[in-house]
Structure 1
C-alpha cells in the first residue's frame, strides 16, 4: 500500500465525497495523476483543492460530467480521449440510491441510469485508453454487499411491481458484479483487469442521504470513507498477477459472489442479453 505510482493516470467517478473522495486522495498521495469525475462543478472544485492541498500533488484534475446522462458521458469521453492519455486505473465509484421512482430526461429510471448504464457506458468508452495502458490497466467497480440479496433480473428499470429504491439499488449492484465477470471474459486478451468490490458499510454522505434511519441507528459503528476505500486502493496497487480478473473483493481478499442457498448463481446466465440491452441503450 506504500507503492508509488507516478506517471499512472487514474480516473475516479463520483470523486467529490465519500469513498470516491477518499480513493482520489489516496491515489494522489501515491503520486498518480488523478482525474476526478464529478457532477457538481462547485463541489468538485472544493474537493479538488482539498486533495491538492492535503497531498501536495498538483496533478489532480476535475472533469465535470453527470453520469445519469448518456449524452454527457459520451461528451466527457470524447473530451477526455482528445487528451490522448492512457488510463491505468478506472474506478467506477459514482452511484446513488433514490428511494422514489425518478425518470431522467433521457427516459431512464435514475438508479439504473447512474449505477448500471453510467458504469457500462463509461467503461466501454474508456476501453481504447485502457488498452493503451495495458498490460497494467484495470477497472475497479464499487458494488455493494446488498447485491447478495437479489438475483440478476432482466427487469433493469424496475418496470414490474411496486418500486423499491433499496431493492433497485441491490439489483443494480448485482448487475455490476455480473458485468465485471462478463468484461473479464470478453476482454481477456486486451491486457485489462476487471474487478468489483464491496466497501463494507461506510458512513458516507450517500448513505446518510439514502438511508437516514440506518445511518442514524448505526452512527459511530459504520466504517469511515477511508476504510471503505481501502480495498479499492489495494486493488489499484497490487500486481495484476495476484488478482483474479472478474473477481469480487472484500477487505483485500476475493469473496464469493453468491451466498449459499440464495439461488442467485444461475441468474448470471442472462448477462449476455443484459449486455445486449445496455449496448442498444447506449
Structure 2
C-alpha cells in the first residue's frame, strides 16, 4: 500500500509540475513505477480496422505503425497520398506484413470530410478504431473553405463530423482525439470560437481548439453512447515531431534534448486503442492514466459554456444538437 501511494504521489507530482512530466524524463520515470499498466497483448488488434488522420509524420506515423504492429489493418488518412506511399513502405520495412492503405482527405475541409466519409462507407464494413491526430498551427489566421478558423475546423469540426458520418461503421468501436497539454493554459472560448476578436496568436488558437476538443468529450460520450462508441482524448507530452520543429522552433531548440520520441508520445494513444483503458468514455489520458482536464481555476468550464460551444459546433456541421444519427 505504501509503495502504491508513493507511486501515485510521484505520478501526480510529475503531472502537476508539467515540465518534467511532459518530457522523456516523465516517460522514463512513470513506466518504471509500480502499477504501470501492461502493454497491449501482441496481436491484440489482429482482424480490426483502424483509421489514423494526419499519419504521414510525427505522432500520426508512430500511431499508425504502433497499431499495425499489433495486427490492425490501418488506413492512413492524409492529404498527400503520394507521400503516404513512401510512409507506408517505411512502416512495412519495420513491420513486415503490415496491412496499410492510404485514404485522401483534408480534415479541415468539411466538404472533403463528407466526400471521404461517403467513400469509406462504400468501401468498409467496419471501423474499430478512429484516431483523430491531424493538426496544424498556421502562422496567421486562416479560414477553411467553409469560412471557419482553420485550427478549430481541423481539430474540432472535422473530427466530430467524420465520426458522426462513420458511426454506422464504428458501433462498438473507439475514437481517440489526440490533443495537447497546451490546452491547460486556455479556457473554452464559447464566446469567440472563430477567433475573430483580438490579436491572433497561432499558439493561442491551437490551444483554444485543443481545449474545445477536451470540453466536448462528455457531450460526445453521451451522444455516441447508444452506438457503444467510446470517445477519449490523449495528450502526448512534449514530443520531437516535424510539427514542433516547424511551428515552435525556439521551443524545440531549448527543449530538444528532453523531448520524447514520436513513439513515446503516441504510446498512450496506441495503448488506449488496443485496450480501451478502464473502459470509460469521455475521459482524458496521458501516460496511460486518466488526467484532470484543468490545472488552473481560471480555465474551468461550466455547463452553460460547454452547451453553447456544442451548439456552435452542431450548427457549423448542420447536426441535430440533441439526436445523433
State TM-score, norm by structure 2: 0.81
Q: Which residue of 1 aligns with 2:126?
A: 86
C-alpha distance in 1, partners of 2:276/2:156? 28
Aligned equivalent of 1:150, options 186, 207, 228: 186
Q: 1:143 to 1:239 in 2, by over 3 A?
A: closer
> 2:265 pairs with 217, 220, 228, which one?
228
Matched, 1:75 2:115: yes
Q: Is 2:69–2:98's contact at 8 Å kept on the other side of the alignment?
A: no
Of 107, 111, 130, the residue aligned with 2:151 is 111
Q: Does 1:270 align with 2:310?
A: no
- 2:259 matched to 1:219? no
Distance 1:100 1:268, change over 3 A: farther
Tell me which of 80, 100, 109 is aligned to 1:60. 100
- Give yes or no for the alignment of 1:20 onto 2:20: no
State whether structure 2 residue 131 is matched by structure 1 residue 99.
Answer: no
Structure 2: runs of 5+ lacking an equivalent: 1-39, 318-325
Confirm or deny: 8 A CA contact 1:31 1:57 kept in the other structure: no
Residue aligned with 1:159, SS: coil
Rg larger in structure? 2
Following the alignment from structure 2 to structure 1, what is the Cα–Cα distance between the partners of residues 275 and 235?
A: 17
Aligned length: 276
Return 5+ residue gaps in structure 1 as ranges. Answer: none
Q: Distance in 2 between matches of 1:105 and 1:186?
A: 27
Cα pair 1:22 1:226 within 8 Å, conserved: yes
Aligned mates of 2:182, 2:169 — CA distance in 1 = 31
SS of aligned partner of 1:220: helix
Q: Quick check: 1:196 aligned with 2:236?
A: no
Paired residues of 1:11 and 1:35 also in contact (CA < 8 A): yes
Q: Which range moves more in the overlay, 221-230 or 109-118?
A: 109-118
Task: Measure the CA separation in 2 of the matches of 1:204 and 1:183.
Answer: 29
Does the 8 Å CA contact 1:202/1:228 hold for their aligned counterparts?
Answer: yes
SS in 1 for 2:226: coil
SS of residue paired to 1:188: helix
CA deviation map 1:70-124 (0-9, x unaligned): 1111000000000132111000000111121122332222212211211221121
SS where residue 208 of structure 1 aligns?
helix
Per-residue deviation, residues 119-178 of structure 1 (Å, max 9, x unmatched): 2211211211101xx1xx111100111111111112111011111111111110011011
Distance in 2, Cα, partners of 1:3 & 1:126: 27
- Higher alpha-carbon deviation: 83-92 or 245-254: 83-92
Q: Which moved more, 1:34-43 or 1:19-28?
A: 34-43
The superposition leaves residues 4-34 of structure 1 with CA deviations (integer Å, 9 ceiling, x where unpaired) of: 1111000000001000000000111111010
Secondary structure at the counterpart of residue 123 of structure 2 = coil
Question: Which one of 285, 292, 306 corresponds to residue 256 of structure 1?
Answer: 292
| Deviation at residue 239 of structure 1 after TM alignment | 4.6
> Aligned partners of 2:219 and 2:276: how far apart in 1?
22
Q: 1:85 is paired with a residue of what secondary structure?
A: coil
TM-score under structure 1 normalisation? Answer: 0.93
Give SS of 2:139's match: coil
RMSD, aligned α-carbons: 1.4
